[in-house]
Structure 1
Amino acid sequence: MDRLNNKWIRAVLPALLIHCSIGTVYCWSLFKGDIAAYIGSSVGDVEWAFSIAIFVLGMSAAFGGRFVEKDIRKSSLLAAVFFVAGMAGTGFFIYQKSLMGIYLSYGVVMGIGLGIGYLTPVKTLMLWFKEQKGLATGLAVLGFGLAKVIASPWIEQLLGARNSEGVLLNPANIYTMFFILAGTYMVMMLIGHLLIRKPAGYTEAVAQSQSFSYMEVLKNKTFIGIWLMFYLNITCGLALISQEKGILVFIGFGAIGLVSALTAIFNAGGRLMFSALGDQLRDRNSIYKIIFISSITAIVLPLVFNGVSSTITTFFIIALLCIVNAGYGGGFSSLPPLLADRFGLHAISTVHGLALSAWAIAGLTGNQLATFVLAQTESYNVLLYVIMGLFVIATLISAFVVRPGKVDLPTEEVNTEKELVTG
């Protein structure tokens, strides 16, 4: 058993198993049209299931951080139960042709599993990789990004053949697919639950003589700044990523599937690269400056060279999509170590959960921002200017609001014994 008690078996492997399972939520675009066709609803109405799932993910993380902090074993099991139940429930309600049931199962139930599951491995990884916290969280969140790359071909295979109009030849595949996915992810997440452990002898600081204060964090200027720049990065990313196909069609580039795979790889790679790079920097907040400035540069280039030649325009647009995807992923993986640097490791699950509420709000505003701008202007150029403006604001927040140095928060006195965490 001693051979199993190392950071790769007790932290990295369970993190990848859990995050590669829940990250499948990003495969939504592959089957939302099939769900709409089967239940006789519009794609727009069905789309809300995904928005609800992302919103519930963020809010369950915000309110579930303390629970994750107390017992990593219970939280990993709870994540598996909710995620798998939501996945299987989605298949059942598709079969029943119930839109409200899909909202409940995919949006709410699965969303809770997403939020708890997303938080669960993060602190454990940082405890095992104390000197390389960025690399640790990058490994975890990498799994979330890779899930789409890994699962997409399998999902397409499960859905089966289509006719010339893109309609499934066997419509029943849409709900049986969810049952198969639920069974597979149940096995993966339960293995992750059985393996995950904090380092032997680790003592929870939160169980000592001082207690974490929610309000002191929420009122803290540094936390507000981190929340805002994290929110803006997600909003900009979603606004651009949601229009990826439309932009490529507009410039006349046909290999959309190839670019989609390429941007997914950059999204996953950015999660590991940016967070690992943060370990080498004096101030981890510098990573966000790099993300924002590189994204602004990537937007400026196609706008400046627009009309020079179609080849140059196409190259810059694809580069833009790749760079923003990398920064989008890197923003997620760089968040926990930045919060740990500023607020300490003892309550990182709780602080990280509160910060993830930005994801919940951005999940409701990112796509809608792009839709609104295009409806009003019918111009992708205007959309790029709006996104660039938001990145500029995020850069200013990173430079002038999120100051260097650890934040000392007032705490509340409590009467609790110091406890050894064995889970």
Structure 2
Amino acid sequence: MSPPTAPPGWSRWLVPPAALSVHLSIGQAYAWSVFKPPLESALGLSGTQSALPFQLGIVMLGLSAAFGGTLVERNGPRWAMTVALCCFSSGFLLSALGAATEQYWLIVLGYGFVGGIGLGIGYISPVSTLIKWFPDRPGMATGIAIMGFGGGALIASPWSAQMLESFGADSGGIALAFLVHGLSYAVFMALGVLLVRVPGTDAGARGGVESAATAAGARTTPTGPQVTAKQAIRTPQFWCLWIVLCMNVTAGIGILEKAAPMIMDFFAETETTVSATAAAGFVALLSAANMAGRIGWSSTSDLIGRKNIYRFYLGVGALMYASIALFGDSSKPLFILCALVILSFYGGGFATIPAYLKDLFGSHQVGAIHGRLLTAWSTAGVLGPLIVNWIADRQEEAGKTGASLYGLSFGIMIGLLVVGFVANELVRPVHPRHYIPAPRQEAVDVERQQPESA
């Protein structure tokens, strides 16, 4: 499916809303913890078991982004958004069938496997397009779109909680909630499919660009040193960033996946217990922080640099985890504040990484390189929930309760953030031997000046 080229007078500011329609939808994944307690009760699952759809979804996100990144670059954002729509919506419909028949494997297959493919393709679908439209502010541009993924739970969390309250928290109510999600998101994502455009090769097609200089800089032809996706994965810089992203994501997702039951556990033995409704509100707050971090911190990276902002994410993030581990159960505001900061860094890390990749490898195949890097998210999607859920289950079996369920896992998270900090310090400019040779670069430039037809 070939995306239409923007006509003369087209404003580049229409592209972020197209991306947002997809990212706000697939960002529902961050509200999965709202479904965990009802599923555990209705189907007799443990905390580790109820995390499986989410974990598999994140694994498939990274794998589909890695293997589909080149296809997204070749076929364009409209094709990618259409694939994402079909997979993500179908995943909910399969999950609805699984809940209705109390066949948990169908929920894992639908939400985790099929829906996870939609997550991955949908996540990377607008990235390279946005960087081409906004080469002057890549961090801000990708942050605007990717903040939608972080903000999806801000809508989905209270919406899901309300549906479960209205439909019932049994298997039938869960099935109906999944069905409504699948149909609603299909309609909303279709708006992005219809709206998205790729930039033309002339500055005249760039209506809404503030100046002629900016217009000239925003052409689709890449400038400066360029590295192919195949060559990028052979560089130490790629693998340093892989570790950085994996550690940052593991630390954030460890809280996010278990957010609702975690805050209830932390204050279960105090006078200020947390209800299920309040816990869903906490999930929504985390989503807001995730979303704000994606636009706020990624825009800041345009000013202070990518390495410096990751130093901030990883260093301060470790301090926030230490604060929760030491004092979180004695102060609800402190627990919430530290969790919000950690989730803002989690979101900011995602939004900043495409610009970091562009800085190092150029814009030629940044979407494909980004897709390959998201295998770090797949790893973290298993690692983070596994650490928190498995340790909490073992601690509960040992007779521990409340905040003591999480002390060991939070210590592990601090160590992982330190590992990520060191990896970020090792990032250096890419050696020229990895660049596309000059004659080939000229051929690439000529090719990319042709109208996109794939």
- Give the match for residue 220 of structure 1: 235
Matched with 2:421 is 395
Q: Against the structure 1 CA distance between its residues 83 and 274, is the aligned structure 2 distance closer, same or farther, given a 3 Å change threshold?
A: same
**Identity within the alignment, %:** 30
Per-residue deviation at 1:303? Answer: 6.0
Q: Secondary structure at the match of 2:135?
A: coil
Structure 1 position 52, deviation (Å): 0.9
2: CA distance, partners of 1:405 / 1:252: 55
Match of 1:294 among 316, 319, 331: 316
State the Cα distance separating 1:226 from its structure 2 match.
0.3
Q: In the alignment, is residue 51 of structure 1 matched against residue 67 of structure 2?
A: no
Aligned CA distance change for structure 1 residues 77 and 31 (closer, same or farther; 3 Å): same
For 2:434, what is the secondary structure of its paired residue? coil
**1:268 deviation in Å?**
1.3
Asked whether the 8 Å contact 2:39–2:171 carries over to 1, the reply is no
Task: Give the Cα–Cα distance (whole angstroms) in 2 for the partners of residues 131 and 233 of structure 1.
Answer: 26
Q: What is the identity, as a one-letter code, of the residue corresponding to 1:402?
A: V
Alpha-carbon shift at residue 334 of structure 1 (Å): 0.7
Deviations 1:101-138, CA, capped at 9 Å, x for gaps: 22221111111111000000111111111111111111
* Cα distance change on mapping 1:156 and 1:213 into 2, 3 Å: closer
Deviation at 1:252, TM superposition (A): 5.6
Q: CA RMSD in A?
A: 3.0
1:190-339 aligned at under 5 Å gives the runs 190-201=190-201, 212-214=228-230, 216-241=231-256, 242=258, 244-245=262-263, 246-249=265-268, 253-255=272-274, 256-257=278-279, 258-281=281-304, 283-301=305-323, 306=327, 310=330, 313-339=331-357
Instruction: Provide the C-alpha distance between the structure 2 equivalents of 1:157 and 1:259, rounded to a whole number of angstroms.
Output: 15
Aligned residue pair count: 407
Distance 1:299 1:103 in 2: 30
Gaps spanning 5+ residues in structure 2: where? 1-5, 203-218
**Residues 225-246 of structure 1, C-alpha deviation per residue, up to 9 Å, x if partnerless?**
0000110111111223436423
Partner of 2:376: 358
The answer to whether structure 1 residue 65 and structure 2 residue 69 are counterparts is yes
> Structure 1: 5+ residue runs without aligned partners?
none
Retained in 2: the 8 A contact 1:76–1:120?
A: yes
Find the aligned partners of 1:294 and 1:211 in 2 and give their Cα distance: 32
Cα distance, 1:263 vs structure 2 = 2.6
Answer whether contact 1:201 1:422 (CA < 8 A) is retained: no
What residue identity is the alignment partner of 1:95? Answer: A
How far apart are 1:317 and its partner, in Å? 2.5
| Contact 1:342–1:406 (8 Å) recurs in 2 | no
Residue type of the partner of 1:59? L
The corresponding residue for 1:348 is: 366
Task: Provide Cα deviations, 1:304-325, integer angstroms capped at 9, x if missing partner.
Answer: 7x49x94xx4443332211111
Taking structure 1 as the reference length, what is the TM-score of the superposition? 0.86
Post-superposition Cα deviations, 1:27-85, rounded to whole Å, max 9, x if no partner, equal 21222343455556556434312211111111000111001101222111111111111
Q: Give the counterpart of 1:139 among 123, 127, 144.
A: 144
TM-score by length of 2: 0.81
Match in the other structure for 1:421: 452
Instruction: Tell me if structure 2 keeps the 8 A contact 1:299–1:384.
Output: yes
After TM superposition, give the deviation of residue 16 of structure 1 in Å: 0.7
Q: Is 2:227–2:434's contact at 8 Å kept on the other side of the alignment?
A: no
CA distance in 1: counterparts of 2:431 and 2:16, whole angstroms: 27
Q: Distance in 2 between matches of 1:43 and 1:4?
A: 53
Corresponding residue for residue 187 of structure 2: 187
- On the 8 A contact 1:336/1:348 being kept in 2, the answer is yes
